[in-house]
Chains A and B, each alone.
Chain A
Amino acid sequence: MERGVLEIRDVVCGYGGVTALRGISLDVRAGQLVALIGANGAGKSTTLRAISGLVPPRAGQMRFEGIDITGARPPRVLASGIAHCPEGRRVFPHMSVEENLDMGAYLRRGSGEIAADRDRIYAEFPRLAERRRQAAGTLSGGEQQMLAIGRALMSRPRLIMFDEPSLGLAPNIVERTFAIIRGIRDAGTTVLLVEQNAFAALEMCDHAYLLENGRIVLSGAGSELIANEHVRKAYLGG
């Protein structure tokens, strides 16, 4: 197996008595967009949570840019250059758009640079600039998604992990979100994407892993997985 900027080896992980990951290994190469696909409960989100330190692994090893991050707590993982966009509610609803962005830079020091990064995000998403003083909870679903992505970028990550970015969004917003994620990859940031919408994920990714019951059962280029008989039957609707 080729070594990646993020290397995961035989990671076992669980919640209480339930084992969610039964020894998974995967590699994310620098500058690539890597997708994790699989059914509900296959362990996709847990993989991201294990990497970001939200769930400590029971066994295995994880390295990012050659540095061991196995069992590191979330602030250390973030400081090492990995940002995580968790699934579910994406923003701090009672904080303003600007405060939400600043939360993304929570661990950073140096207000000048932070302000410059914020302006760059406003330039990218003018809607956010217009609403910078507005409570994030009053934004539309699509705007909240833009804000969540902007917040993740505020930590200046070299790897961003997105957990179900299309969940609960209108189809045109989903399309826009995927375009932004591809744009992030094209700008040089590595992306690890967890996505229910297997077809879209496989189409846009450079490499993909298929998870079933806490194990990786298949990996390859997106086009290879699309062509795979098992993937077609189980995940692409024939």
Chain B
Amino acid sequence: MRAAVTILAVAALASVPLWLRDPYLLNALITTGIFVIGAMSLNLLLGFTGQLSLGHIAFFGIGAYVSALTSLGFDVGLPGDVRLVHAPWPPIAGSLLAILVAGMCGYFVGLLSFRVRGAYFVIVTISFAEVVRLVALNWVELTQGPLALTNIPSIALSLPGIGELTLRTKMQNYYLVLVVALVAYLLIARLVHSHFGRAMRGLMENETLAVSVGIDVTRTLTLAAVISAAIAGAAGSLYAHYIRIIDPEVFAFINTVTMVIMVISGGKGSLAGPVVGGLIFGLLPVALRPVMAPEAQWIAYGGVLIAILFVLPRGIVPSLAQRFIRRRSGAPALASVALTETGAKEPA
């Protein structure tokens, strides 16, 4: 049943560029898709380990900058008359490095904060994002500061038999984002149901018990942070090579908040939640643009978020899934639903 819904959803999404010719809407879908990947990575932490990263955009932005700088090359002076010179590499190498470096940052942040967790993790992630933003803003020689990195090359794929394909059109980039999003989705789905995934969920549901069965708390959470950060870095890399210009504004706190809203409204701890929430809050600006000024739109987002959480308190996907199951069987929620579609703690 669930597999059928997933395949239908993917087929529907894959068909979009075939009938939607409006470049503005296609552009909105591509950037939304990139943010959906970011939201999925955030959900891995927030929904399956219960740890709130309020600086998640840092991993996204680091991915964007690493990817851009790798493919643009740079020449910077370091202390002690050393110059660090890097000749441009192909964008795809930039993407791989983006994933790697973002993952390493996730490890670093996890190591710093997971011994104490909870509020400390929230604070460390916020500070981390702010520090990275300030570096991007002030290390002008490397990042151009507020002048932004421009002319970032589009991603080029070398396909055997066809030669090199540079992804310039919106349609090509749409499919690229769709494929990466699908890979991220399947990876997270696989992970959550693995041995390691059980450790993550066990920690969130009952930490004392999880420790008593031999789960290493710090190691499990740090690994989750690494994977989450790496996926966010991949999203950032897609962003850099699609938009082709990035400035330190990418690290703005509001971008993290947007991802959190996507996860919470769609349903944290549910695989499809960030996709549904991401599509709603990614496309809402497009829908509201003709009727509202950008400043007023934030009020509308707030209203929509409150409305969703009022009617469907656990988020759209878990709440609807539970209603659907109840109606069909009249029984309490089955475990198979409980474990894929909810991350909510049991009411005491």
Contacts and interface: CB of A to CB of B under 8 A. Distances in A.
Interface of A: 52, 54, 73-75, 78-79, 83-86, 88-97, 99, 102-104, 106-107, 133-138, 151, 155
Contacts of B211: 54, 74
A91 B201 contact: no
B335 A133 contact: yes
A122 to B, nearest CB: 16
Interface string B169-210: 000000000000000000000000001001101100110111
A92 B334 contact: no
B334 A133 contact: yes
Nearest to A109: B195
A93 B209 CA distance: 11
B331 to A, nearest CB: 9
A96 B332 CA distance: 13
Contact of A97 (B201, B335, B346): B335
Given A75-B216, A86-B208, A94-B339, A137 B202 contact: no
Nearest to A154: B213
Contacts of A75: 214-216
Interface of B: 195, 198-199, 201-202, 205-206, 208-216, 332-336, 338-339, 342, 346
Secondary structure type dominating chain B contacts:
helix
A86 B208 CA distance: 7
A79 B210 CA distance: 14
Contacts of A138: 332-333
A94 B346 contact: yes
Contacts of B206: 89, 91-93
A162 to B, nearest CB: 12
A78 B195 CA distance: 17
A104 B213 contact: yes
Given A92-B202, A92-B209, A135-B335, 18 more contacts: A54-B208, A84-B212, A85-B212, A86-B208, A86-B209, A86-B212, A92-B206, A95-B205, A96-B335, A96-B339, A99-B335, A99-B339, A102-B198, A103-B210, A106-B195, A106-B199, A107-B214, A133-B335
28 contacts: A54-B211, A74-B212, A75-B214, A86-B208, A86-B209, A86-B212, A89-B206, A91-B206, A92-B206, A94-B342, A95-B198, A95-B202, A95-B205, A95-B339, A96-B335, A97-B335, A99-B339, A102-B198, A103-B198, A103-B209, A103-B210, A104-B213, A106-B214, A133-B335, A133-B336, A134-B335, A138-B333, A151-B213
Given A95-B198, A95-B202, A135 B209 contact: no
A138 B342 CA distance: 15
A234 B337 CA distance: 49
Nearest to A107: B214
A136 B346 CA distance: 11
A154 B215 CA distance: 15
**For the complex of A and B, 4 pairs with smallest distance between CB atoms:** A96-B335, A93-B346, A135-B335, A107-B214
Nearest to A96: B335
Chain A CB count within 10 A is highest, among B195, B209, B213, for B213
Nearest to A89: B206
A92 B335 contact: no
A156 B71 CA distance: 54
B208 A103 contact: no
A167 B210 CA distance: 20
Nearest to B346: A93
Contacts of B202: 92, 95, 103
A133 B199 CA distance: 19
